[in-house]
Amino acid sequence: MNKYYSGERFNRKQKGHAAEEAAVQYLSSMGYGILERNWRCRSGEIDIIALERDRLVFVEVRSRSNSLMQGTPEESVDARKIQQVRSTAEFYLHLKRQSDRPLSFEVISVILNSDLSVVSLNHIREAF
């Protein structure tokens, strides 16, 4: 059982936080160095910015509750979201003077139980 579970339904923010936490733990275990979480600027937000070897990795985390009636988390990454992440990443690269570094855009999809424990986690490298 999850340490945050108290028998009540969780809101969207709590679910998102649980999914992002699972993604950070997973990426760290795979050797990624986490540089930023929830990095924001005028064009949007990037859930996780990490370093894997020499690559700068921009990670979009998507989650769903155990029911997939609304589709899989991966299916929710649409053209608008891809453009928003790319624009935000471009601003980050300019601000941090990192434009010469190899890049990767990745998606981590997380399916959560009602107590916010992880049912499954899927890592899609080079997602877009």
Q: What is the rounded average pLDDT of the residues 66-73?
A: 71
Closest Cα to residue 38, out of 55, 60, 14, 10?
A: 60
| DSSP labels, 4-55 | T--SSPPPHHHHHHHHHHHHHHHHHHTTPEEEEEEEEETTEEEEEEEEETTE
- 47 domain residue, yes or no: yes
Does residue 65 lie in a domain region?
yes
* In-domain check, residue 81: yes
Six-digit token pair at 109? Answer: 């999809």
CA–CA distance, 78 with 74 (Å, rounded to integer): 9
Asked whether the predicted pLDDT for residue 3 surpasses 70, the reply is: no
Let me know if residue 4 belongs to a domain.
no
More confident residue, 66 or 110: 110
- H helices of 51-116, in order, are 79-96
pLDDT surpasses 80 at 4: no
Mean pLDDT of the region 28-48: 96
Q: Are 123 and 110 in contact (CB under 8 A)?
A: no
pLDDT of 5 strictly over 60: no
Three-class secondary structure of residue 87 per DSSP: helix
Residue 5 falls inside a structural domain: no
Domain that holds residue 75: 12-124
The answer as to whether 95 is a domain residue is yes
CATH number at residue 119: 3.40.1350.10
Instruction: Label residue 31 left, alpha or beta by phi (over 0 means left) and psi (-120 to 50 means alpha).
Output: left
Total of domains in the chain: 1
pTM, entire model? 0.86
